[in-house]
Amino acid sequence: AGLTPIVCAGETLEEREAGRTAAVLERQFAGGLRGLTPPDCSRIIIAYEPVWAIGTGRTATPEMAAESHAKLRTLAREEFGVECAQSLRILYGGSVRPENVRGLMAQEEIDGALVGGASLHAESFAAIVHYR
């Protein structure tokens, strides 16, 4: 009871540089959400987590992240309907830091952050939580 599954999706640097981000997200979305139904959308979270940004200190620009989030939301709409796409929470999870959280959270498509390494440092995590 109370479990909220988080499905992570994201591309490698090689895939991004080859212009294959959308195709990778399509493949991961189809595989990761196979067997789900529209009502499940309100019970799961998707985190866009570019592999090349995990633990590297590198992060997607806010615009890059928003583009990938929009792609994931479009896939949700196509697979499960408009209601699902609107209710689905999509987080950004690639090296979120106090220095970049404001720009990321300003993007309409980004619903929140999946904070990794910065959560290990109380001051950094607090700054992210209170970024406004």
pLDDT grade, residue 101 (50/70/90)?
very high
The pLDDT score that the predictor gives to residue 57 is 72
Superfamily of domain 6-119: Aldolase class I (3.20.20.70)
Q: Read off the pLDDT of residues 36-47 as tens digits, 9 standing for 90 and up.
A: 999 999 899 999
The pLDDT score that the predictor gives to residue 2 is 83
The structure's pTM equals 0.91
Mind giving me the DSSP string for 13-44? HHHHHTT-HHHHHHHHHHHHTTT--GGGGGG-
Q: What is the mean pLDDT of residues 111-119?
A: 94
Q: What is the mean pLDDT of residues 58-86?
A: 94
Listed in sequence order, the residues at least 6 apart from 31 whose beta carbon sits closer than 8 Å to its beta carbon are none
The pLDDT score that the predictor gives to residue 58 is 79
Asked if 103 contacts 62 with a C-beta cutoff of 8 angstroms, the reply is yes
